[in-house]
Amino acid sequence: MRVIAGPEKKTRVMGEKEKLVTAYHEMGHAIVGHDLEFADPVHKISVIGRGQALGYTISMPAEDKFLTSRAELLDQMAMTLGGRAAEEIVFNEITTGASNDLEKVTSTAKQMVMRFGMSDKLGPRVFGHDQSQPFLGREFSAQADYSDEIAREIDDEIRRIVESAHQRARDILTARKAELEQISQILVERETIEREEFEALMQGRPPGEIFPIDPEPAPEPPSSPEAPAAERSTGQSPMPRPGFAGGTAEMRGSDSRGPETV
């Protein structure tokens, strides 16, 4: 987990408002991914910050994959935009928390259009010559080999794909608003929900069956003041020793520390 999401930020304290927004955001990812056939299964949802993220939703494939279909890419994009869609539906507002999600889906849509030939409008073509040199620390760049008209069509297709994924996420969350509300509140209280717990909640099982309440320890009987050792053994008060007044006395000696209480 540390490798995937970074170290846990135990000292980071979020306000109640930010924690609530983060819970709805992460639950938006999880519910959209749950309902989409080709999205990877959700393994863990948390509002405990790790790395630079305020929360996270971990989804992992059930088996190793080396190829990705267009249907899988479209479902992954919709799941990625589920957090922003949840903020829009619940709060009628958006935050900066979706910036990385937008970066991911824009990059995926661009690759689908320009590298993978997955655009119905532009067809099975590759646009631009890849000039990326990752081993030299340079980011992806492409030399344009197409007209300005084609460039506009590429932009239009990227926008259409991203907006379509966003609308799919909104449609799912609108239909699942009751689950979004309920499970997000549970996430705020528990801070982390595991895969089995999330699946059970989505199946409609009551939270009391999924998260059993720990029984409270039985109260201890009140303890009576402990009697002195001599009273416990004989039932009588001990005889005062020389130099003692009653049960306690001040010991006076030749040193300069003054009186000590025994």
Q: Residues with catalytic annotation? A: 26
Q: Which of 7, 6, 14, 2 is nearest to 188 (CA)?
A: 14
Select from 71, 70, 85 the least CA-distant residue to 32: 85
Reference 39, options 159, 163, 160, 168; nearest CA is 168
Q: Is the dihedral of CA 49, 64, 31, 190 positive or negative?
A: negative
